[in-house]
């Protein structure tokens, strides 16, 4: 029951960005240095975050990334879903076809996994990046 480093890294990097409250692009190298996340790995993560619309990129000198200003209410759930390949605790929650045992209709444990999955997503969806960034600023000051 582990959160992948992709999810952790994404959130730590974005929390840092949110705390800056900048409206000009932030250099990814600066973020990597400040957070200790491997640069090239962070590039991959930001690539996904941009494709999913959470980040906006600007290339070339003095380029960088910016939290999408059109989406002021990005949640942790948005972020984790963008970078994590599988957010469900068991594959059979994705669809009937993913059930590996052929007893989909009489499976009682799946209902339990569903409750867990719902509980997790409800926490994830209830926290915004903004609030994390604010808390981070608060703690550093």
The total number of residues shown for the chain amounts to: 141
Q: Which does residue 47 bind out of a second copy, DNA, none, counting CB within 5 to 8 angstroms by kind?
A: DNA
User: Three-state DSSP class for 38?
Assistant: coil
Binding mask 71-110 for a second copy (x = CB under 8 A): -----x-------x-xxxxx----------x---xx-xx-
Which burial class, exposed, middle or buried, applies to 109 when counting CB atoms under 10 A from its CB (0-12, 13-18, 19+)? exposed
Query: What 3-state class would DSSP assign to 139?
Result: helix
Q: 24 to 83, contacts with DNA by CB under 7 A?
A: 25, 27-29, 38, 40-41, 43-44, 46-47, 50-51, 57-65
* First and final C-alpha spacing in the chain: 34
- 60 in the Ramachandran plot: left (φ > 0), alpha (ψ -120 to 50) or beta? left
132 binds a second copy (CB under 8 A): yes
66 has which bridge partners? 56
| Chosen from DNA, a second copy, none, partner binding at 65 (C-beta under 5 to 8 Å by type) | DNA
Q: 């605790």: which residue's tokens? A: 89
List residues near DNA by CB under 7 A: 2, 4-6, 9, 25, 27-29, 38, 40-41, 43-44, 46-47, 50-51, 57-65, 85-86
- Which residues of this protein are in contact with a second copy, per CB under 8 A? 1-4, 8, 11-12, 15, 36, 76, 84, 86-90, 101, 105-106, 108-109, 111-113, 115-116, 119-120, 122-124, 127, 132, 135-136, 139-140
């Amino acid at each position: 029951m582990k959160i992948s480093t992709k999810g952790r890294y994404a959130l730590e990097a974005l929390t840092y960005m949110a705390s800056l409250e900048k409206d000009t692009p932030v250099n990814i190298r600066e973020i990597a240095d400040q957070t200790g996340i491997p640069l090239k790995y962070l590039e991959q993560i930001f690539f996904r975050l941009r494709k999913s619309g959470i980040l906006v990129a600007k290339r070339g000198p003095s380029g960088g990334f910016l939290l999408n200003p059109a989406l002021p209410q990005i949640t942790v759930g948005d972020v984790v879903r963008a970078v994590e390949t599988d957010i469900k605790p068991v594959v059979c929650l994705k669809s009937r076809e993913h059930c590996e045992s052929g007893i989909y209709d009489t499976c009682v444990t799946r209902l339990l996994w569903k409750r867990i999955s719902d509980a997790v997503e409800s926490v994830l969806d209830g926290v915004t990046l903004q609030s994390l960034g604010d808390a981070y600023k608060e703690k550093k000051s």
